[in-house]
Structure 1
Amino acid sequence: MHPARTRTPLDGIPSQRGSAASVPEHAYEDPTGFAVAPDASLPALPPAPVRRPWRRLLRLVPTPAGTPFTFGYALVLLATSLFADHADPDIVGDLLRGSSTDVAHLAQTPLLALVGSALWIAGGILSPYAVGFLFVLTALERRIGGWRAAGVFLLGHVTATLATELPVGLSVVTGHLPDSSLHRLDYGISFGLMTSFGALAGLVAPLLRWSALGVLTAVLVQDLLSFTDPLTGWGHLMALVIGVACWPLVRRWSAARTPPGSATTA
């Protein structure tokens, strides 16, 4: 007498060649339930990129490795702003007057005046100039590099300063302005910032470019027409124009830093 044989649902169906152990690694199961090995002739798909939103946010602010010029300059401006807020007002006033880029200081110590005036933020660390500096200089440096971003900033700071102060000196010499016009409090990063903004506008999408330039130009013209500080108002407009004039140069620099095959902005 033979022992009873337990029948399975697959009894009577020809067995498949091979076994589970012979199914290649990485095989997948199709809707019919059969294990299917991938075609070795097809190229393997690259792994899906891992999205990290915090990295995109980090690129908006300066970092020591990514934007050393902006990061280091921001630390200097933070230090001078904290000093101006908490130090003795008389000492702060003397330092600001000594850093002023008026005609008298430019005639006596031009290099010291030009460098010293760029170490302070008019309005303090919470002013619009401070916020604009962080985002504009960071974006510009990431596109064209630290030394070139510093050169654009310095070009606007020096050129706009001389373009506004030299006519004052000539007007005093010719008698059209009093001697007191040679001494005025003029310091800050605004001229360099406006030039950097104008240069950066040439590296972004056209809609953003012309919208940002239009809004900023309207604000600067309104400040100029208010006659609160006409000399600074003209300087801001000239600095912005200098930045726009840098478009061919910054676009060439940006293209040189763009990896082959990457999308570029017209």
Structure 2
Amino acid sequence: MKNVTKNDVSFNVSDDKQFAYFWHTVFPNHWEDFTFEVLDHFLHPDRNYLDIGSWIGPTLLYAASLAKQSFGVEPDPVAYEALKANIELNQELKEKITTINKAMSFKSGTMNLYKRTRFGDSSSSLVRSLSDDFQPVSVSTLKDLVSDYQITDLSLIKMDIEGGEYLLIPAMRKYLKRYKPPLYLSLHPEFLKSSMKKRCPNSSEKKLQKAYFKKVKKLIQSLDMYDYIYLSSSERIEKSKLVQALLKNDNPIELLFTTTSFNLKQS
């Protein structure tokens, strides 16, 4: 067992060899600092938190110290077992965490979860990219998930699902438009592009670019209920410039969608 600390929050994690490097070296050293600023700002002891793509628990365990109830969704079988093991080492937080061994997408039922290198490495996805190896997993829509687990009064939704966001976000539009919870979204354009090439190997680059543009545009249009969009630098980006900015970027990018204006660094 190892105790780890981020900002003023500490919790215990397993010393599992597969994840030891992350907990010992990556997590303490400015890993996703902006993500934790977002958690610090939005999470509240009287409201709930939804973590879609919890992996082995760095954001979920952190959030459990700040939110009323934290719901963690993770379909990867290896990551999910590690997540549960880590939660068991934190009895004071355990009652405040609900784990859900599912993926989320545009439908409920069963879909294939593809590994990228190996399961548990934080890159498994519903979109097939580098590997053809998959495992069937249970899948839920947001509508079914909030109904089944009685999830209400969310102060924040965090989503990091390795390309699956392009399938899920349009299906969430009705819920997001009604409740407008702050949304912290990780986009993985390279995953989507790799998947499109793999599915359509004979398509021209121009045709693939056109299809990719439609996917990006649909995702952003599905989030038009939010007035403010922030980059991980905490700088605001205008809606009119977002699609073009995303089309020029193949690296993962984090975006915060909110209905209120604020300077996150000073919040």
Tell me whether the two structures share a fold, i.e. TM-score over 0.5.
Answer: no
Q: The TM-score by the shorter chain falls in which range?
A: under 0.3
TM-score normalised by L of structure 1? 0.27
